[in-house]
Chain A
């Protein structure tokens, strides 16, 4: 007689209980055929989380296969907790981005906090010390009270975890768009540094080796979190609040230090973070990768309360836990270490040679599942995408009130200063932060060296919506431009694919076409993909979020000497590099004036992108140019305003073009700051940093503002929204 009252095999089948867990009839039948019998409650629960979109990538696998994952510097590509890339001198960077969208929608503080905690553990499980955090955030417009609540909660959650665990948050990007109303996107990225000889893998090998649990005691929080993350948000989502995990950065910090200490011990065989699907995914994936089986004695799992069933234990997503496999006989050494570092630990099982995940509770067998099939035979769905009809293009905005447009754009939260957000994140703990959040990539010195890592995270969802294929290229190119702008050589990237439901043909098309464009850009720009994450079903009330692939990119600065001083000063000339072409689909002026995004193809020349980027990087390193600023949302005029505000110097610029092109968002363009009269390929001088006014003119267009006014508008926009009452 089992001591937990659960539905029987027959109940599950007849009442189709697997459907509540997110499995289809066909998937249930596949489980039956794998097991050769009907699954019990624990088993079907395990299959349902491992075969959730979040864990199995069942709708996205074919697309992920397009990405180049190898390169001369890549030491470890996708498949482990995070990617690893060589930076020379026996060291490497480890990084990954991950989404926490659904939890953040229903419980913004904890959703965001555990997103940060989870990505840190991914980096630590490779054996690396985290040196920088980044985040990519998307919300609906701040005119809505609910969106303000979500922003406030997400920001304090990111800070609440990151500040406490002591990893600096050094860069990020934030966008506000109605498509994210009630379904915010919260993507967190972490970068760590490791010595080559410390790189760990999540593997379970060696019959008789022991499985060690370390970290927070298991509770009932986050049960079915991975399945929840794989379905559409709805009015019932509030009821899924218990599926949201709870972060504990204090234990997280102890666990981080304990893990980094354990990695120094030669008896460690493998290690994996207990993230999505907790004990289930960590144990079965480690066994699958090691070609072994694992037997767990679940009565040994440290528990927060009594009476937690094997089903609940296996599906719990309690945070701050790691699973280790250690050599037989060495387990006490690990337990003693963890004891000294004041984290709970226990030996909960061992590695076997039978290729099965077997779960016992007080000698009673609760699950017996073939490991390879569980992790490798998740269904893969290849659907039909449908390309929507193209819209007609609008190539001219010169009849609009462009002065009003300028003022609206710089007071929109997407383009305004994000100080309100970034000042809530500790950006300097660790004392290696050279450039922090707010104006370009984060730059973190590699401790004890003259090298630094430049890191950025970028998304361009409106472009991807307008033209998924070329928009996909532009997202990668944007990250590339940002890394180049710091004088760094781009090394590799990580991606987080945030889309609506792939079961909708137009969303499937977005996924298909944008990943194809991204893959091409990765090849041309020499930035292989070393890790990533997929978040689908970002839907609310019949609306899908904009297709939002987010790219995290890391570059290497060989000598931080180039960053010793910011040479920008009054009198420096301003150049535009590239042509201002009429490219308004997906732009901010289109959003402001027309609202909808026109589905019209966008243009980008990746070869030109690569060549131009490298040329500018070399000129920056040699000191010829003082600042590289890629042009993004809002076009040239918004970038000039941001530069003037950042340096607190006036701008006097005249561009001999049609005035609306100042707002165009054509690809591969930069503003460069350098001494006057410099020869830069593809560039022309357009003015200078001077005085304390912001003056910009084009054909039939002439604006002039006090610098103070520009400053106040950019800096005041988000605080003004956040303090509004309705």
Chain B
């Protein structure tokens, strides 16, 4: 059974949703305070959305130097699953575990809506239950979700099949419609949309459930990226 640490920064606000999603899919989960320095006993890390430290400096910037961060980097280096959603994605790019950056939406306003997305890469440990080009609906809710990267990084992402999720209708100006990426090793995932809010059809979509099932069965899955 996979046991996930849900990291809580002051200002995180999707921590309960993410915790509930992991548990609902059958994984174990536990909250871990950002002041901790160890993630011993955990098999993976989930970094929730929200406004860590108010996002007053720059989204994710303060969280990227929090005490827990070193332990998160260690987990990533060991090849364990590290997932950042929304603010979590912003934090992972600030830490440098994922390339690129998230900047202000090109329309300048916060955008909250159900987004239609495409699974671009179904050969990752996170998306093995999806099929290639499958359309899914996950809610988005962000002010700074425009994925930005250099030409070199973009070419790299494409060459390595690191882009796993794209917007069907780009809401925020993200380069190449990118909504979610993984690292080269295939164990760190960052995405702006909220799969943890898409677990039940009565709430609008249950397309996110498979992602959490894949997280639950991470160990059993030996396929790797590429």
Residues of A bordering B, CB below 8 Å: 156, 159-160, 163-166, 248-251, 253-254, 342, 422-434, 445, 560, 563-565
Contact = CB atoms under 8 A, between A and B. Distances in A.
Contact of A428 (B50, B56, B141): B141
A429 B203 contact: no
A431 B111 contact: no
A152 B111 CA distance: 14
Contacts of B56: 250
A250 B9 CA distance: 11
Given A156-B109, A248-B54, A250-B54, A429 B13 contact: yes
B113 A423 contact: yes
A198 B66 CA distance: 34
Given A165-B13, A251-B54, A424-B110, 5 more contacts: A164-B50, A249-B51, A423-B113, A428-B112, A428-B197
B14 interface: yes
Interface in B186-203: 194, 196-197, 199, 201-203
20 contacts: A163-B51, A163-B112, A164-B13, A164-B55, A250-B51, A250-B53, A253-B11, A253-B51, A254-B11, A422-B112, A423-B109, A424-B109, A425-B112, A429-B17, A431-B196, A445-B203, A560-B202, A564-B201, A564-B202, A565-B201
Among the interface residues A342, A422, A431, which one has the most CB atoms of the partner chain B within 10 A?
Answer: A431
A431 B54 contact: no
A427 B20 CA distance: 18
A646 to B, nearest CB: 14
A250 B201 contact: no
Contacts of B112: 163, 422-428
Contacts of A427: 112, 141
Contacts of A248: 54
Contacts, number: 88
Contact of A159 (B14, B110, B196, B197): B110
Interface string B44-63: 00000111011110000000
B145 interface: no
Contacts of A249: 51, 54
B94 to A, nearest CB: 17
Interface residues of B, number: 31
B173 to A, nearest CB: 15
Contacts of B67: none
Given A428-B194, A429-B14, A429-B17, A163 B141 contact: yes
Given A248-B54, A425-B112, A431 B203 contact: yes
A250 B11 contact: yes
A560 B201 CA distance: 12
A601 B136 CA distance: 53
A254 B55 CA distance: 14
Contact of B10 (A342, A422, A423): A342
Contacts of A565: 201
A432 B141 CA distance: 15
A568 to B, nearest CB: 16
Interface string B120-146: 000000000000000000010101000
Nearest to A166: B13
B44 to A, nearest CB: 20
Contacts of B49: 429
A131 to B, nearest CB: 12
A429 B196 contact: no
B110 A163 contact: yes
A254 B109 contact: no
B53 A563 contact: no
A166 B54 contact: no
A159 B14 CA distance: 16
Contacts of B50: 164, 166
A431 B201 contact: no
Per CB-CB distance, the 6 closest pairs between chain A and chain B, nearest first, are A166-B13, A250-B54, A426-B141, A164-B51, A431-B17, A424-B110
Contacts of B11: 164, 250, 253-254
A362 B143 CA distance: 47
Contacts of B202: 434, 445, 560, 563-564
Given A424-B111, A429-B141, A431-B196, A253 B17 contact: no
B16 interface: yes
A431 B10 CA distance: 20
Nearest to A163: B110
Contacts of A160: 110
Interface in B92-119: 109-113
A141 to B, nearest CB: 21
A246 to B, nearest CB: 13
A433 B10 contact: no
A481 B194 CA distance: 33
B16 A430 contact: yes
B90 to A, nearest CB: 14
Nearest to A565: B201
Contact of B139 (A342, A428, A560): A428
A253 B10 contact: yes
B110 A156 contact: yes
A565 B206 CA distance: 13
Contacts of B53: 250
Contacts of B14: 166, 429
Among the interface residues B17, B49, B112, B141, which one has the most CB atoms of the partner chain A within 10 A?
Answer: B112
Contacts of B51: 163-164, 249-250, 253
Nearest to B56: A250
A565 B16 CA distance: 26
Contact of B20 (A165, A254, A431, A564): A431
Nearest to B114: A428
Contacts of B111: 423-424
Given A163-B110, A253-B13, A431 B199 contact: yes
Contacts of A431: 17, 20-21, 196-197, 199, 203
A215 to B, nearest CB: 14
Given A159-B110, A424-B111, A164 B199 contact: no
